[in-house]
């Protein structure tokens, strides 16, 4: 008997490009939101390479304190953009509290209050749902 440790070679959404991109200035419209209030999220994406390129900007959200163990992170938005060398674009997303819901132990969809982490391209920010 031997134990096989299975680790993906590449993360979901991983892609190759002839240029490089950087992410900065991740901002949230509010540090706390209520059950009927969306949070607006923006991030700057820059082409730091010498060639034009396409990038898929992926928005992941993690529930830091759910009553059950939810997925580590869930894809909640994406946008494909074209950038010339040296160009920067600000990308915006809007997340509604219903998009934070999960199936609880009673097999019902619930949106629980708590702290959530937003991750886009390696930069993170947190917000609280009251």
Domains of the chain listed by start with CATH number: 21-129 (2.60.40.10)
Alpha-carbon span 121 to 43, nearest angstrom: 9
Residue 10 has pLDDT above 80, yes or no: no
Sheet of 88-95, strand order: 21-28, 39-47, 88-95
Do the bridges between strand 123-129 and strand 32-33 make them parallel or antiparallel, or are there none, so unpaired? parallel
Residue 1 has pLDDT above 70, yes or no: no
Q: What is the mean pLDDT of the chain?
A: 92
Report, as an integer, the average pLDDT of 25-51: 96
Structure tokens at 30: 């509010």
Phi first, then psi: what are they for 102, rounded to 5°? Answer: -145, 170
Alpha-carbon separation of residue 1 from 4, 6, 17, 43 (angstroms)? 10, 16, 41, 48
Phi first, then psi: what are they for 99, rounded to 5°? Answer: -75, -5
Alpha-carbon span 32 to 64, nearest angstrom: 14
Report, as an integer, the average pLDDT of 54-62: 95
Beta bridge partners of 120: 59, 123
Beta bridge partners of 93: 41
Q: Is 13 left (phi over 0), alpha (psi -120 to 50) or beta?
A: left
Report, as an integer, the average pLDDT of 30-36: 92
């Amino acid at each position: 008997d031997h134990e096989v440790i299975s680790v993906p070679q590449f993360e979901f959404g991983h892609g190759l490009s002839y240029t490089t991109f950087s992410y900065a200035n991740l901002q949230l419209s509010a540090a706390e939101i209520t059950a009927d209030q969306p949070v607006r999220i923006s991030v700057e994406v820059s082409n730091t390479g010498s060639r034009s390129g396409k990038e898929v900007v992926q928005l992941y959200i993690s529930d830091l304190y759910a009553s059950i163990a939810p997925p580590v992170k869930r894809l909640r938005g994406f946008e494909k953009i074209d950038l010339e060398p040296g160009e920067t674009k600000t990308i915006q997303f809007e997340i509604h509290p219903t998009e934070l819901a999960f199936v609880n132990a009673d097999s019902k969809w619930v949106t629980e209050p708590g702290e959530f982490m937003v991750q886009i391209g390696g930069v993170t920010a947190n917000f609280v749902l009251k």
